[in-house]
């Protein structure tokens, strides 16, 4: 589908804003820091259920506690936002950047059945560059995984995406100019980007969100549409969850090359039957001198864990989590063990100067990645830090806390993923 995009040559970088930072439409000033982190943890569980649905795994557990209305999880539940514009003249949208999705979509007028959205809806009649896509086009054929079909009169390609909680979006497939705000201040216009224009969208979508930019491996994603213009390369560098700086960085093309001292690379494993997801092979995790073998999920070919920027925690099988948690607790020195104020995390400490954490290394195939305390523990508030791993037997996911303070580079043609320790607050 890269023929539909006339991207700039070379490379460019954009800002990513965490949904819980002030300035995000999702930010709730009434939430305590502990509450915010607890809900982020529950969103991680929601991601597992959504991914399990996409992978056709059994998913019978409840996504969230129905007695807790503030913790209800939504289908548009990624963690990072990106400012984009659609159409000519550009119409601004704050979209979720999601490595666990493919299609780029937003709600559009006229909307026969739309969920409540705080921001205005995109009006296709106001854009001179909007064009629906025919059923016989290559773009429509390549969207079969998104449930593409033809309109009743056979003239317009349509899409339908369902999520694990029965939420759905459906509408027209269109070619439209998508514009990204680059870090240099120069807009990056991508004409004829294939998008979904949703006219029937319902379920648990948050009214704060107004679009999704899919960054997965499927043919409809932004990365796939950019294709050869970015050399199949993208990277991101995410600031720590408790950092004062609200923005992280995402790079494309030549800007996304990860090189220099300290770079470690591991195979990026694709599964043709599930092209959306990026799989890795995690062999073990070491806590001090104790090495714990990792079995993981029996999906993704030889891959056993999904790497995902939209999941906060690292989710691992219950038996592995018990061994990891026990090893960390046994080897921690100093500090005071405490409880999570929200009751979500199981291993927490008071982060005073006496707390000494053991070294932890994630042993991926060909890459021994040494994690920092910011990768292992998440700061719940000024008085509590908790282990940023969580037990889950459905699916294993390497979450964004474990990826923070690393430049993470995806090279799709070479099928490698690279880690480079980086101060992401300076990118």
For strands 122-123 and 105-109, give the pairing.
parallel
Whether residue 101 is preceded by a cis peptide bond, meaning omega within 30 degrees of 0, is no
- Nearest 5°: the CA angle 408, 9, 187 is 80
Q: Tell me which of 98, 172, 340, 374 is the catalytic residue.
A: 98
Cβ atoms 228, 48 nearer than 8 A: no
Active site residue 308: yes
Q: From CA 237, how far away is CA 263, in angstroms rounded? A: 14
Active site residue 98: yes
Q: Tell me which of 20, 102, 172, 308 is the catalytic residue.
A: 308
For 68-135, strand residue ranges (E) read: 80-86, 91-98, 105-109, 122-123, 131-132
Pull the structure tokens for residue 139: 């773009």
Q: Which residues contact 330 (CB under 8 A, 6 or more apart)?
A: none
Q: Which residues contact 392 (CB under 8 A, 6 or more apart)?
A: 45, 48, 315, 316, 317, 318
Cβ atoms 210, 93 nearer than 8 A: yes
Which of the residues are catalytic? Answer: 98, 308
């Amino acid at each position: 589908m890269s023929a539909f995009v006339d991207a700039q040559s070379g490379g460019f970088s954009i800002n990513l804003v965490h949904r819980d930072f002030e300035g995000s439409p999702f930010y709730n000033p009434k939430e305590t820091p502990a509450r915010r982190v607890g809900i982020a943890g529950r969103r991680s569980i929601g991601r597992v259920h959504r991914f399990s649905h996409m992978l056709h795994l059994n998913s019978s557990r409840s996504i969230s506690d129905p007695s807790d209305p503030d913790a209800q999880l939504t289908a548009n539940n990624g963690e990072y936002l990106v400012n984009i514009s659609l159409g000519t003249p550009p119409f601004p949208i704050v979209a979720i950047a999601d490595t666990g999705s493919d299609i780029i979509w937003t709600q559009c007028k006229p909307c026969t059945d739309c969920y409540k959205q705080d921001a205005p809806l995109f009006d296709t009649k106001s854009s001179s560059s909007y064009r629906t896509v025919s059923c016989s086009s290559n773009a429509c054929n390549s969207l079969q995984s998104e449930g593409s079909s033809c309109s009743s009169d056979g003239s317009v390609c349509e899409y339908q995406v369902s999520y694990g909680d029965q939420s759905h979006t459906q509408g027209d497939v269109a070619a439209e100019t998508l514009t990204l705000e680059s870090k240099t201040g120069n807009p990056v216009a991508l004409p004829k980007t294939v998008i979904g224009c949703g006219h029937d969208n319902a379920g648990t979508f948050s009214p704060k969100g107004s679009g999704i930019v899919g960054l997965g491996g499927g043919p409809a994603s932004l990365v796939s549409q950019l294709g050869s213009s970015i050399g199949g390369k993208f990277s991101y560098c995410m600031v720590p969850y408790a950092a004062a700086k609200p923005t992280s960085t995402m790079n494309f093309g030549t800007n996304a090359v990860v090189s220099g001292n300290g770079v470690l690379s591991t195979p990026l494993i694709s599964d043709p039957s599930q092209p959306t997801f990026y799989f890795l092979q995690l062999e073990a995790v070491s806590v001090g001198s104790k090495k714990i073998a990792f079995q993981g999920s029996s999906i993704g070919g030889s891959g056993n864990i999904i790497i995902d920027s939209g999941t906060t925690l690292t989710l691992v099988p219950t038996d592995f989590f018990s061994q990891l948690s026990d090893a960390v607790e046994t080897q921690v020195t100093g500090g005071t063990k405490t409880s999570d104020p929200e009751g979500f995390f199981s291993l927490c400490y008071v982060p005073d100067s006496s707390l000494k954490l053991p070294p932890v290394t994630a042993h991926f195939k060909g890459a021994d990645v040494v994690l920092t305390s910011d990768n292992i523990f998440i700061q719940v508030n000024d008085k509590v830090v908790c282990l940023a791993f969580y037990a889950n037997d459905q699916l294993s996911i390497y979450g964004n806390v474990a990826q923070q303070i690393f430049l993470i580079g995806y090279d799709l043609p070479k099928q490698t993923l690279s880690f480079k320790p980086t101060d992401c607050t300076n990118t």
